[in-house]
Amino acid sequence: MDEEKLPSDGDIGSVMGFSGFGKKARTFDLEAIFEQTRRTAIERSQRVLEDQQKGAQVEEEGESSKSVKTSVPSQRDKAAARNQQSGTSSSDSSDSDSELVGPPVPLQHGAQEDELVGPPLPSGYRDNTANSDDDDDDDSEADTKDEDDDDDNPVKKIPDTHEIILQHGTKTVSALGLDPSGARLVTGGYDYDVRFWDFAGMDQALQAFRTLQPCECHQIKSLQYSITGDVLLVVSGNAQAKVLDRDGFNVMECIKGDQYIVDMANTKGHTAMLNCGCWHPKIKEEFMTCSNDGTVRTWDVNSEKKHKSVFKPRSQQGKKVVPTCCTYSRDGKLVAAGCQDGTIQIWDRNMSVHTKFHCRQAHTPGSDTSCLCFSYDGITLASRGGDDTLKIWDIRNFRKPVNEANRLTNYFSMTDCCFSPDDRLVVTGTSVKKEEGNGKLVFFDRASFQKVYEIEVTNASVVRCLWHPKLNQIMVGTGNGLAKVYYDPVKSHRGAKLCVVKSKRKEKHAETLTQDYIITPHALPMFREARQRSTRKQLEKDRLDPKKSHKPEPPVSGPGRGGRVAAHGGTLSSFIVKNIALDKTDDSNPREAILRHAKEASENPYWIAPAYEQTQPEPLFAEESEEDEEADKEPEWKKRKI
C-alpha cells in the first residue's frame, strides 16, 4: 500500500519542473559559463543592430516595414523549432550522468526580433517597436510643441505668482532704482526720504537698512544706479542733482547756474527745478539731467564745476520748451527728451545743435510726457504721455507711431513705462483717484499692441514700474507709499527670494544693559572680577538690579516724604522745602489748624496789628433793632416784592 502511494521519479520530475531527479550533479566551471554568457550577449546585440540596419535600408528602398518584420521572425521561428527538437531529443536521452540539475533552458530566446539581455518583459507588453517609436516621437514632438508654445506666449513669463510689500512711507513713491546686480533697491518719495533696501540682508520684517534726506525739503523725482552699481544719481525738486555712493554718502553735487543769464548754454548748471535724470548705459562717469530752465545737460562725475554739454529743445517757432523726461538709447549714441508742447526730440550725443529725429505731435500739447524708454534692440521707443496714452515709435520712421493705447489714466509727471527682458511686452501703470478703484499694472504685446495681461496692485495709483532683466522681478511704486516686488519662485532669481526665507530676528531689549567685561589675567585675586558664564543669565540679573538697569524712581503719591516733594515747581519756596526735608504729616482740618492760632494772634499781635496801631480806628458796631431782626427773618420773595 505504501509503495502504491509513493510517486515515481517521472512524476516528481514533472511536478518539480525538471528531469533527472535523484541523479548525480556535476561541478560547474563558473569562468567558462560567464565567458559563454558574455559572447552570447555580444552576438545577440550584433544581431539586433544588423536587423535594425537592414530595416533602415528596406525603408529607404520604399518597401513596407511590416513585411520585413514578419519575414525575419519566420526564419527565427524555424531556427527556434530546430532548437526545440534538438532540446527534446536531448531531454529524452538524458539518462547519462552528465545531465545538469535544474529547470530546462527556455527555448524561445530567438523568437523575438529585438530581444536584448536583461530581465523578462512584463505581462501585457506589446512588441510593436514601430508603434512605440512613433509614440515616443509623438510624445517628444508634443513636449517640444508645448515648450514652443510656452516660449511663444510671453504672458507665461510674467513673474506675478508671489509678491512682497515694502513700506516706504505714507506718501507717493515717486522714484525707484535697482543696481545692475539686483542686490539693493532704493526708493524715494514725496516725503523727501530715500530708503535703501538690501535683499540679502533683510528678513521677513522687510525693513530698510538706511533712511536719509539727501535733498532736504525737496521731493525725489528720479533715482538710478550707474552701470557699475557703485554710485546713485538722485534727482529732486531743486536745481542741483546729487550723486551718492552705495551707502548714501555724498560723492558730488552739480553746480547751480546763473539765473540772470539769458542764454542757458552759457551757464555752468541748471537754474530751475529738475524733472528727470539718468546714467549713460556705456560710460560709467556720465549722466544726464533735464530741467524747467529748458535744457538737457550731460555731466561728468569727476568734474562737478561745469556740465559737459547742453541740449536745448525748441518749438516749431524756435521758442524755449521745457523737457519733462529724458533718456539715452541702449547704445548711448542718442539722447531723447519729451517736452511739454507734446514733442519728442532726439539728438546725436556728439552733436547738440540740431535734432536727429523730431516728432512735432507725439502727444497732446500742454500734457507732460512722463517717460521715454528704448527697447533692448534699440529700434523701438515707448512714450508714456500725460494725455492718458502709451505709444510705440520706430525711430527709423519717426513721423507716426507704430501702435497706440488709450484710456490709460495718468495723474503723475513720472509715470513709468518699460519693456520686458525679452522685448516682447510693454508695461505701464495706471492712476486712480482716492477710493475710486485700484491702480493696475498693464501689459501690452509689442507686436500687436493688444492688452494681454494686467495686475491690480493696490487701491492707489501705480507710478513707477521696473522690470529687472537679471532677477526677472517687477518692482512697482504706488501712490500710497508702498513699493511692491512681484516674483516667481521658479522663473525669478535671487532678489526678493533671499529675504522671504529668513525668519524675523527676536529683539533683545536687555542688550543695552550689558556691561563690558574687562579681562585682567594677571590681577590679584582681590581685584579679579568673576567671569561671566552666560551672557543671557547675566542680562537677566542686570535687569533685576535697579542700579545696573538704571531703574527710574517711582512717582511720589501724597504730600511728600524723606526730602522728596510730590509736585514741586521751580520756585524758591519749593526748593527750600525740598532741601529742608520737611515732613508734612498733618492730616487735620486746615480751618481748625488756622483757628488754633487765632486767640494768640489777637492777644499778642506781631505782624500786621503793630503797624496800624496808631492810625487804625477802633471798630464800632451798631446794635441791631427788633425791626431789623424781623426783616431779616422775612422770606426772600417778599423782600423782592417790596
Q: What is the pLDDT of residues 603-617, one digit of tens each?
A: 888 877 788 878 877
Region 151-158 average pLDDT: 79
Residues in the chain: 642
**Beta carbons of 442 and 144 less than 8 angstroms apart:** no
Tell me: the pLDDT tens digits for 324-379? 999 999 888 899 999 988 899 998 888 777 788 888 888 888 888 889 999 988 88
300 contact partners, CB below 8 Å, separation of at least 6: 285, 286, 308
Residue 311 has pLDDT above 50, yes or no: yes
Q: What is the pLDDT of residue 510?
A: 46
- The bridge status of strand 560-561 relative to strand 482-487 is unpaired
More confident residue, 249 or 12: 249
What pLDDT score was predicted for residue 477?
Answer: 92
HEC secondary structure over 474-493: EEEEECCCEEEEEECCCCCC
Phi, psi angle pair for 216, to nearest 5°: 55, -120
2 pLDDT band, cuts 50/70/90, is very low
Which pLDDT value is given to residue 596? 83
Q: How far, in Å, CA of 462 to CA of 477, rounded?
A: 6
Residue 616, all three cell numbers: 487804625
Kindly report the average pLDDT of the chain as a whole number: 77
Q: CA-to-CA distance for 515 and 548, rounded, in angstroms?
A: 9
Cβ neighbours of residue 241 closer than 8 Å, sequence gap 6 or more: 233, 234, 235, 253, 254, 274, 277, 287, 289, 299
Angle, alpha carbons 323-188-216 (nearest 5°) = 85
Give the residue with greater pLDDT, 543 vs 511. Answer: 543
Cell 508695461 found at: 427
Give the residue, 516 or 424, on which the prediction is more confident: 424
**Does the predicted model carry a pTM greater than 0.85?**
no
Q: Burial of 185 by CB count in 10 Å (0-12 exposed, 13-18 middle, 19+ buried)?
A: buried
- pLDDT given for residue 12 in this prediction: 56
16-31 burial: b if 16+ Cβ within 10 Å, else e: eebbbeebeeeeeeee
| pLDDT of 294 over the 50 cut | yes
Band (pLDDT 50/70/90 cuts) for residue 428 is: very high
Position 361 scores a pLDDT of 83
Is the pLDDT at 40 greater than 70, yes or no? yes
Over residues 107-141, the pLDDT tens digits come to 444 444 444 555 565 555 455 444 445 555 555 55
Q: Are 399 and 409 in contact, with CB atoms under 8 Å apart? A: no
User: What are the pLDDT digits (tens) for 565-580?
Assistant: 555 555 677 667 666 6
Mean pLDDT score, 173-192: 90
Q: Which of these ranges, 462-471, 480-489, 490-499, has the smallest mean pLDDT?
A: 490-499
| Sole residue written with cell 559559463 | 33
Q: How far apart are CA 392 and CA 404, in angstroms?
A: 6
Q: Looking at residue 533, what is its pLDDT?
A: 60
Contacts of 257 (CB under 8 A, 6+ apart): 239, 264, 267, 268, 269, 270, 271, 293
Widest pairwise Cα distance in the chain: 171
The residue among 299 and 13 whose pLDDT is bigger is 299
CA angle, residues 98, 99, 102, in degrees to nearest 5: 140
Supply the DSSP symbol for 378. Answer: S
Helices in 493-621 by DSSP H: which ranges? 496-499, 535-544, 572-580, 590-595, 598-603
